[in-house]
Amino acid sequence: MPANSARAAVEEGEAFRMYIVEQGDNLESIASRFQISPRTLVVNNFELLAEDFSQPGRQIIVLATDGVLHTIKSGEDLSFVGDLYSVAPEQIVNYAPNGLTSATDVAEGRVVVVPGGQPPIPPELPEEQGPLLEEEIAPETDGRAGETPGTADTPADEPPTEQPTEEAPPVEEPAVEEAPVDSGAVAGWTWPVSGCGITRGVSSDHHGIDIGLFCNPGATIVAAAAGTVVFAGWDGGYGNSVVVDHGNGLFSRYAHLSSISVSSGTSVGAGGALGISGNTGNSSGEHLHFEIRADSPYGAVLDPMSYLP
């Protein structure tokens, strides 16, 4: 999956351009050069970190005005898009670089600039979760082994019992492991979504890959290999997520979905639909966070790139 495939799906025009970062550039200097706000650059290149705007050769989207670039999806009209970004649909039509003649002059796949648009705020995490990062997520079992994430019950009215204080053992980050050569699973794996390239890979503090979906918003997320769904629901910083047990010691996770179409216990084949991509949980823009773990949903971290074709 080429890193710049997202850019190939979006044609340049008067409304925006593709800019190659040059030596000495940074977020503020690029924004100043094109007379837009740094926020506009960040919103429309959500997969990038601030330091990426200083990386020579990096390709970024630069709008001709402050706002949001939006790809029309099936069933959408400009009234929907206007409501989504808190602007009047006439504002989108009247923005000449969009080349629109009326509010109905849109078709699926058309890219428009929403001038002055404000990105929708993703749902807040439940209060008890707090602002967790993906890498800080742990099974919601209060340390009790063998429980499925999110299913542990705690008595609400029982007074706390005093327990002897013991020093907790140090928590070690799971090491990133290579795919087992004899796993037999590699041949049966497929990409969980057709996206815009890998925007972030596996590292000691990021336990999966992020697949950007700027070029394919509202995409169907599919199982990367056959297995059984063992979790489907809200999972803290992962947002709406699905975990599939592949029956060979491997588990895959699909996070930040907008909706889920399976439930725990559902059998899925490779390529079977799990839900729709989104921006829930700790996510700054629509993408799929995809993990492969060994032995349990929170076991040793494996690099998905060792499994995907």
pLDDT by residue (tens digit) across 17-63?
888 999 999 999 999 999 999 888 887 876 667 777 888 988 888 99
For 107-135, b/e burial (b = at least 16 CB within 10 A) is eeeebbbbbbbebeebeebeeebeebebb
Q: Is the pLDDT at 12 greater than 80, yes or no?
A: no
What are the tens digits of pLDDT across the range 80-98? Answer: 888 888 899 999 999 999 8
- Its pTM stands at 0.46
Taking alpha carbons only, the member of 209, 249, 255, 210 closest to residue 232 is 255
Q: Rounded distance, CA 13 to CA 84, Å?
A: 23
What is the structure's pLDDT at 88? 93
Where does CATH 3.10.350.10 sit in the chain?
11-120
Residue 31's pLDDT is what?
A: 92
Q: What is the pLDDT of residue 297?
A: 87
Coil, strand or helix: which one is 239? Answer: coil
What is the overall mean pLDDT for the chain? 76
The fold adopted by the segment(s) 11-120 is Membrane-bound Lytic Murein Transglycosylase D; Chain A (3.10.350)
277 CB neighbour count, 10 Å cutoff: 24
pLDDT in tens, 172-182: 444 444 433 33
| More confident of the two residues 132 and 199 | 199
Residue 173 has which token pair?
């980050």
Q: For the chain, give percent helix, strand, coil, nearest 5.
A: 15, 25, 60
Token couple for 115 = 């001038």
- The predicted model gives 12-16 an average pLDDT of 72
CATH 2.70.70.10 fits 197-306, yes or no: yes
Tokens linked to 268: 């899925």
Q: Where in the chain is the domain with CATH 2.70.70.10?
A: 197-306
Residue 120's pLDDT band, with cuts at 50, 70 and 90, is: low
**Secondary structure (3-state) at 8:** helix
